[in-house]
Amino acid sequence: FQANVSCQFFSFCAEKWNTNEMATAAATICAAQEEEEDATILRFPKEFSTTETLFISEVKLLLEHRKSQNASVDDEQELSEVFQKTLEYAQRFSRFKNRETINAVRGRVTQQQDPELHKFEKAQLANLCPDTAEEARSLIPSLEGRLDDVELQELLDDLQTHRDHQG
């Protein structure tokens, strides 16, 4: 709301006083307003469109691999506190234990067609593992109106099956 009011104010001032500074401010504020992130409607910065979204379980595997590489080197470097805390977080909240299960889950959420899930939604479903369609929609508002309850519940049940049967 505030950005919209500011945008309107600066646009009005730029027209009224015809100054370059006001026009530049209006353009900057209006552009920022248009690019505002909002995960509930799947609006992300443009950098997000060219990157892969990882599951917390995938991050855990990557960090554990990096830690093991570091341990096997003769000149072992101490891992940073941020690295250690991130690894602890990933280990605590990882829903899937091994690469095979992770690949199966990624395959299952990627199979979802009509509508295809956004990569953010795929990652959120795998990271949060909601039990019900209602819970999924409350945690991931962008799912509202995109999948019917039966279809979403089938997907969630499949994810739960993968969690229950991992080695």
Model pLDDT for residues 47-77, shown as the tens digit of each residue: 888 888 999 999 999 999 999 998 887 676 8
- Mean pLDDT score of the chain: 84
Least confident segment among 22-36, 41-55, 119-133: 22-36
b/e burial code for range 120-142 (CB count within 10 A of at least 16 → b): ebbbbbbbbbbeebeebbeebeb
Average pLDDT over every residue of 16-39: 62
The residue among 157, 74, 155 whose CA lies nearest residue 122 is 155
CA 61 to chain centroid, in Å, comes to 18
Distance CA 133, CA 41 (A): 18
Predicted local confidence at residue 144, as pLDDT: 92
The residue among 34, 67, 57, 47 whose CA lies nearest residue 122 is 57
**Residue 57: other Cβ atoms inside 10 A:** 23
Q: 75 or 45, which is more confident? A: 45
Q: 96 or 3, which is more confident? A: 96
Average pLDDT over every residue of 40-44: 86
Strand partners for 38: 43
- pLDDT band of 4, cuts 50, 70, 90: very low
pLDDT tens digit string along 83-125? 999 999 999 999 999 999 999 999 999 997 767 899 999 999 9
Predicted local confidence at residue 72, as pLDDT: 82
Least confident segment among 22-26, 69-73, 160-164: 22-26
